[in-house]
Structure 1
Amino acid sequence: MRGHPEGNSILHKEKLKMTLPYMIKDDSISPSKKKKHGLSDNLDDSTDKYYTHKSKHFDLTENLLDRSTPDSLGEISSIAHMSEMTMHTTGIRKNRKGDVTFEKAVQRVRGTPDGAEKSFAVKNSNKISQETKEKTKKLLDEELELCTKENSPAIKKHDSIKPLERKKSIKLQIKQAAKKLKGLKTKGNLEKGRNLPKRKLPDASHSMLHDDTMVKKAKTKDMNWKDRRTASRIAKNHYQLIQNSKLIWEQLRKKDLSDQKRIEHCTELYTGVKGKIAEFSLAHDTARMIQCLIKYGTAIQKGSVLDEIKDSIVNLCKSKYGKFVVMKMMKYGNKFQRSHILKQLHGKVVKLIRHKESSEVIENFFAEYATGPQKLTLLEEFYGPSFVLFQTQTAKSLDQIIEEQPNKKEIILSNMKETLLSLIDKEVLLHSMVHRLFFEFFNYAEGKMKTEMIEALREGCVNMVHTREGARAVMHCLWHGTAKDRKVILKSFKTHILKICKEQYGFLVMLAVFDCVDDTKIVQKIILDEILQSLSEIADDQYGRKVLFYILEPRDPVHFHPDVRHILELGDKNLTSKKDMSVRHKELLDQVSPKLIQHVLDNVKDLVFDNTKLLLTLSIIIHVTVDSTAAMEAIADIAAEPFTTGADKMHIVEHHVGHLVIKRLINQDKKRLEKCEEVLFSTMLLEKVPEGSMKSWAACNRGCLILVK
């Protein structure tokens, strides 16, 4: 034991008469063995008397407490930790010489020495728990029996004494179990996969827990899948009500149902689901019933449905099935109900547009049902928190706000940039509302702010070309982006060129590419090659033909509206393009001319009689950079065919489209003569047409017009 801190004490002067089984004069047993076998240095007085009477090998004057005091605090702290039983000092006799009251008081006040560990503090040294005394006595009785039987000192049979076992901690038990399990797996004693036998539930009689909380789970392994499905449905709330409502819904959704029957079924269905509409709108089957009720119900019933869901519209918008209920209410509700839905969404649009499910509701409302002021109200939330908190009675567009308050321009653009950057990598980039915001941002952003946005958006531009504002935003990216940005944008268009060319607004992006991208080689590889592979399909489409017209005759007023030309002119002053526009268009035309003229030769009989392809055919023959004589000869051969009045197939001279092809090709002879070209379509026609055919041409009105030309 530690001993007392300092000085001699009256408590140490008297030798205690105490014996222990291992206290031998020759010190043959080390203290480590004492500790190993769980023997304690502190025993009861009764034990003292017993061993004093029986043993002759122990010194009766040995005192446990009379030990040398450690020289330093380092020695105190290096003492090994002892069990709880050894921490209590026992065996101090009651009858002591001298007055020790003052000595005890000083010791109690002084406490443990500074620096000593808490584990060495002696607490309640004179009080031993009843449990500890019983264990000690039991251990000594076992030792006494062994000594008596073999008639030898107790120390010879000391190894037979088992120490008191401490209870294993839960952590240690888990460790040992995991180690054992690992050993079993290594030896291959555990079966794997499906061959593992199913564990059987223990009987209630063998269970370790004997309380009423253990409930046996219903066995469904003997049921077929239909019965199991029915059992799981019955366990849900409102099962019978849902089943009855489904029967009514099946009748209500029939198209051939009479108006009177439909009203009756709507009333019956509404009576059943009343008060539970918000709950039913979240499930996949019951949500369909609510949608059908909104579609066919009366105005009063629709109003009642809205009253029940008005406080949970935001949660329904985020639900996979509830969002359809909100969209049905937008579609079949009146303008007041739509206005009420908008009020519920106010202040949460920025948050909802980022959500996968609710973004569809916001986009549906913005694109289909919102009025002009309502659209501006939705967009205002992206301009900054102040526009949400201090909403004016009349919503204003970004143009009006910047015109009235120019000092807010930087703050608005900064807020828009922060919001839009978080939307780039998500599916919401497909929505027209997001495209509108990007278009407004590019209209006013300048310098570094615009450059950073283009760099972030360039890979997602392909998702924006299908709307008006989206296509305009992509055109800004092409005009003001670097050469690297343009290359990335073009690569994102790969395999989508045919679709982009045929879209109402996507074709404008193709025209912007032809205007500003200096690297015509990459334009040919990515864009022109795909166009030429699907040339017939593009030529059949009204927007696809504009792409071909722009390659042949860029910004020709015959083919392009003034508004389209004005939009394209906005990108002429970009700082990235270095090549002259005429040179760029000449290079592109050289790359496509052979394929275009071959297309005319392969389909000449169809093209000269097709009203939609008339101008394209003439433009190809007139503007290609390769020799077009073969195409003109093919048309002259068709004109040289015998002209018979009343034939099944109308002659080209008499046809309302064919005669225009011949007339316009003859008109081009004037320009060819000015350029001193030797090949003239008039001469070619006179050589091909047999003698006497001109007389038959003069017999019809359109033939006479050709002869006049």
Structure 2
Amino acid sequence: MTLKRSSTATMQESSIVKSNFKKTKLSDSAALGSNLTSKEYSKLKKAGKTGNVNLNRIKADNPIVKNNEKSARENDAHVETETSVKVFKKKVFDKLTKKQKKKLREKRRLYYDEAIDIKQTWELLRNEDDKKKKKELTESIWEKLSDKEKLLQLCYSHDTCRVICWAYRCSSEDRKAKTFDTLFTSFEKLATSRHAKHMALTMVRHGSKSQRIKLMESLTGKIRDLFLHCSANDVVEELYNCHANERQRAAMYHEIYSRYFVMKAQQEIQNADDKSGTQKQQIKSLQMLLDKSPHLRSPVLSTVKAFILKCVSTNSVRHSFAHKIILEYFNVLQNSSSSTNKSASSVENEKEKEGDERKNITEEGLFEDGEQPAKQVQDGKAVIGEIVPLCRDWLIQMAHTPNGAKIVVYALWYSDAKDRKAILKMFKEKIVEISQHESAYLIICAILDCVDDTKLINISVLQPLLKQFSQIITNTYGLRSVIYAICPRYSLLFNAEIREFLSLGDSNDNSRKPKEVRYKECAQVMQLTVQQYLCSKLEESSGALEDKTNYQLTSAFLSSDYVENSVKQPLLEKISSLCFETDEFLTSFLSYSVVKGILKDGHPNRDEFAQMMLPKVNEFEKDVLKGWSEQSRKLNVLRILAEKDEKFKRKLQTVIPDKL
């Protein structure tokens, strides 16, 4: 019968062994030799009791060391064989041609055979004219892509993605609906892929209205992140710019303003509408959000600023959606700075008049201290000045949209002389193209408004316009660019909204030369070319002013305060002579409008033009005056001239007393 040993006995034995091991002498440890393991040897070495132990003998007799050395040798041999195989493969691969290398790489792709098949079918589809055969070929492509996994994988390749897009466009509505349902769950992944985004764009462009609504709903809450993605921003731009209605666009803005803040403001509006009984209003702009909820101003503006700074650092800034957000942000800061300017000046006036009442104003909470309005102005301008340099590399690409062109105008306002020079050099080669663009022509107006260096304007802007003058004025917006150089903010061409926007730059801190001096210097460069052009047109035909371009250019040229009177005089003489040389001149509407505009009160050349016409009118006989009185437009000219000369007025009273 075997007895179990107690734990105390085993502990006593182990302690005796340890004590005996510690007491071994150098000669004993050397004698151990072959019986030492590597761990025992390391312990003895730390204790300083190894003596003259033969390590080679230990390694030779130790089976653990033998096995380790064997495995190491095997590993080295395996590595050597692998490297030799790689070297051999590389030598073989290097000897191949480019086409052979390309084929080898393509064969490694998933679904290589299917990709080759659909590309061959696509080539037939492209060259086919018969509609029935086209349908058959597209159906054969979809049959080969019946598996969802295969379809998705091939969408991510640069070549097969184009084939699938083409097949989607040529397919019937039923097939489009099936494919849409297959890819709908992966739409976000497709949008964020470099090549598959083309499939996402095809789904947006060639899908039905209900499918687009479904896609927009699926992206709710993800617009901000997707727009900042280098590939997905094209898909968001397509949805926003081409297919979204006003309500959907407002929902996209809300994600940039922060949906939390918008929902909070919307609840406040709803509560106010419920009390007043009016209809519910949707927040459609940043200014509207801040007007409805002023207490959310600082968090909303900081959120929008963070989005803009991320936009500027990526290629997303080239899209119109980003231009809309940036312009709204700039307008809010500009309006706040102008309003706080007014409030600051009003507070200063009250200080002078009422003295101690300033304390009451601060106690009521209008301002925390007397210097806050000026501080807010400085902060708003500083923020715009901080963002503008970051946008400078993208200004040419921004100029093609209405909002982007206005951002370029802001960049000119908030840049110093050195930066403005750099911007003008950037636009110099495209200045003619910009002057004829429906949105970008405002950049020309802003340059003429704010740049002090008129020599630089002459070289960079005016000389390119003069070289192609006859071509530029035939374009509606090119004509506006030319007219702005001789008659800035001409009310017949520039509506109140444009004039109001351009007037925001009049108070910029970087322009020091007086505005009138700048305008006069620019007009002096253009005036002779315009005068020679108009005089030559009137010499060619008396009906030249019936052309709308000639009419607008003539009326702007003659009503300008910056064109010299000596330059205007030949044109005035030509117009006054045409009034009497041809009967049809004053009967035509546009020619009559030019003459009436010159004789109107407030025109700079009214008296001079009247003095040119009165001697010829005074020579009229009674029959001629009666003939003029029978035509309403000529009669109006006679009435205006009669007000300037009493002698002629008395003559008219004797001839046509009933019509005066």
User: Which bracket does the TM-score occupy, shorter chain normalised?
Assistant: 0.5 to 0.7
Partner Cα distance (1:277, 1:110) in 2: 65
Under a length normalisation based on structure 2, what TM-score does the superposition of the two structures give?
0.64
Partner Cα distance (1:270, 1:458) in 2: 47
Partner Cα distance (1:622, 1:602) in 2: 20
Under a length normalisation based on structure 1, what TM-score does the superposition of the two structures give?
0.60
* Pair 1:435-2:309 in alignment: no
Instruction: Tell me what 1:304 maps to.
Output: 178
* Pair 1:613-2:550 in alignment: yes
Which of 107, 118, 124 lines up with 1:245 in the alignment? 118
Residue 294 of structure 1: SS of its match in structure 2?
helix
Q: CA deviation at 1:663?
A: 7.7
Which of 627, 640, 657 lines up with 2:567 in the alignment? 627
Instruction: Tell me what 1:328 maps to.
Output: 202
Does the 8 Å CA contact 1:614/1:657 hold for their aligned counterparts? no
Partner Cα distance (1:359, 1:594) in 2: 49
Which of 401, 412, 425 lines up with 1:478 in the alignment? 412
Partner Cα distance (2:171, 2:43) in 1: 89
Does the 8 Å CA contact 1:479/1:574 hold for their aligned counterparts? yes
Partner Cα distance (1:113, 1:707) in 2: 122
Deviations 1:420-477 (A, max 9, x none): 2233354433210110111121122314322212343345433322212222223333
AA aligned to 1:274 is S
* Pair 1:581-2:581 in alignment: no
Instruction: Tell me what 1:128 maps to.
Output: 57
Instruction: Tell me what 1:590 maps to.
Output: 524
AA aligned to 2:310 is S
Q: CA deviation at 1:542?
A: 0.2
The aligned length equals 523
Instruction: Tell me what 2:474 maps to.
Output: 540
AA aligned to 1:381 is E
Q: CA deviation at 1:250?
A: 4.3
Q: CA deviation at 1:481?
A: 4.6
Q: CA deviation at 1:121?
A: 5.8
Partner Cα distance (2:406, 2:265) in 1: 29
The CA RMSD measured in Å over matched residues stands at 5.3
AA aligned to 2:130 is L
When residues 615 and 214 of structure 1 are mapped into structure 2, their CA distance, relative to the original with a 3 A threshold, is closer
* Pair 1:364-2:232 in alignment: no
When residues 475 and 685 of structure 1 are mapped into structure 2, their CA distance, relative to the original with a 3 A threshold, is farther
AA aligned to 1:451 is G
Which of 508, 516, 540 lines up with 2:442 in the alignment? 508
Partner Cα distance (1:516, 1:234) in 2: 62
Q: CA deviation at 1:509?
A: 2.6
Q: CA deviation at 1:368?
A: 0.7
When residues 390 and 231 of structure 1 are mapped into structure 2, their CA distance, relative to the original with a 3 A threshold, is farther
Instruction: Tell me what 1:664 maps to.
Output: 594
Partner Cα distance (1:562, 1:220) in 2: 71
Trace 1:421-570 onto structure 2 (pairs within 5 A). 421-424=309-312, 426-445=314-333, 446-570=380-504
Partner Cα distance (1:425, 1:127) in 2: 66
When residues 280 and 595 of structure 1 are mapped into structure 2, their CA distance, relative to the original with a 3 A threshold, is same
Instruction: Tell me what 2:645 maps to.
Output: none
Q: CA deviation at 1:329?
A: 0.7
Percent of aligned pairs sharing the same letter: 24
When residues 467 and 90 of structure 1 are mapped into structure 2, their CA distance, relative to the original with a 3 A threshold, is same
AA aligned to 1:305 is T
Deviations 1:43-99 (A, max 9, x none): xxxxxxxxxxxxxxxxxxxxxx8xxxxxxxxxxxxxxxxxxxxxx94699xxxxxxx
AA aligned to 1:457 is C
Does the 8 Å CA contact 2:487/2:557 hold for their aligned counterparts? no
Deviations 1:675-706 (A, max 9, x none): 4579837879999xxxxxx9xx99xx999899
AA aligned to 1:612 is T
Deviations 1:248-275 (A, max 9, x none): 43454568433x5554444333222122
Does the 8 Å CA contact 1:608/1:657 hold for their aligned counterparts? no
Q: CA deviation at 1:634?
A: 7.0
Which of 139, 151, 158 lines up with 1:267 in the alignment? 139
Residue 158 of structure 2: SS of its match in structure 1?
coil
Deviates more, 1:418-427 or 1:444-453: 418-427
When residues 256 and 447 of structure 1 are mapped into structure 2, their CA distance, relative to the original with a 3 A threshold, is same
Does the 8 Å CA contact 1:246/1:289 hold for their aligned counterparts? yes
Trace 1:60-459 onto structure 2 (pairs within 5 A). 89=30, 128-129=57-58, 131=60, 236-250=109-123, 252-253=125-126, 256-258=129-131, 261-275=133-147, 276-384=150-258, 397-424=285-312, 426-445=314-333, 446-459=380-393
Which of 660, 666, 680 lines up with 2:612 in the alignment? 680
When residues 224 and 655 of structure 1 are mapped into structure 2, their CA distance, relative to the original with a 3 A threshold, is farther
AA aligned to 1:588 is C
AA aligned to 2:462 is L
Q: CA deviation at 1:242?
A: 3.6
Instruction: Tell me what 2:337 maps to.
Output: none
Deviates more, 1:476-485 or 1:272-281: 476-485
Residue 252 of structure 2: SS of its match in structure 1?
helix
Does the 8 Å CA contact 1:501/1:547 hold for their aligned counterparts? yes
Partner Cα distance (1:655, 1:564) in 2: 33
Q: CA deviation at 1:286?
A: 2.0
Deviates more, 1:523-532 or 1:496-505: 523-532
Deviations 1:16-54 (A, max 9, x none): xxxxxxxxxxxxxxxxxxxxxxxxxxxxxxxxxxxxxxx
Q: Structure 2: which 5+ residue stretches go unaligned?
A: 1-22, 34-39, 63-68, 268-281, 334-379, 642-660
When residues 582 and 390 of structure 1 are mapped into structure 2, their CA distance, relative to the original with a 3 A threshold, is closer
When residues 653 and 264 of structure 1 are mapped into structure 2, their CA distance, relative to the original with a 3 A threshold, is farther
When residues 349 and 656 of structure 1 are mapped into structure 2, their CA distance, relative to the original with a 3 A threshold, is farther
Partner Cα distance (2:425, 2:173) in 1: 52
Partner Cα distance (2:604, 2:289) in 1: 57
When residues 224 and 639 of structure 1 are mapped into structure 2, their CA distance, relative to the original with a 3 A threshold, is farther
Partner Cα distance (2:284, 2:492) in 1: 38
Residue 57 of structure 2: SS of its match in structure 1?
coil
Deviations 1:544-599 (A, max 9, x none): 11122223333332222233223333344445545543343223212322232244
AA aligned to 2:295 is N
When residues 305 and 656 of structure 1 are mapped into structure 2, their CA distance, relative to the original with a 3 A threshold, is farther
Residue 382 of structure 1: SS of its match in structure 2?
helix
Partner Cα distance (2:214, 2:293) in 1: 30
Does the 8 Å CA contact 1:653/1:659 hold for their aligned counterparts? no
Partner Cα distance (1:288, 1:110) in 2: 71
Deviations 1:283-312 (A, max 9, x none): 233222321232232333223222332333
When residues 250 and 123 of structure 1 are mapped into structure 2, their CA distance, relative to the original with a 3 A threshold, is farther
Q: CA deviation at 1:332?
A: 1.4
AA aligned to 1:307 is D
When residues 614 and 325 of structure 1 are mapped into structure 2, their CA distance, relative to the original with a 3 A threshold, is same
Residue 230 of structure 2: SS of its match in structure 1?
coil
AA aligned to 2:401 is T
Q: CA deviation at 1:336?
A: 3.0
Does the 8 Å CA contact 2:485/2:519 hold for their aligned counterparts? yes
Does the 8 Å CA contact 2:30/2:50 hold for their aligned counterparts? no
Does the 8 Å CA contact 1:669/1:680 hold for their aligned counterparts? no
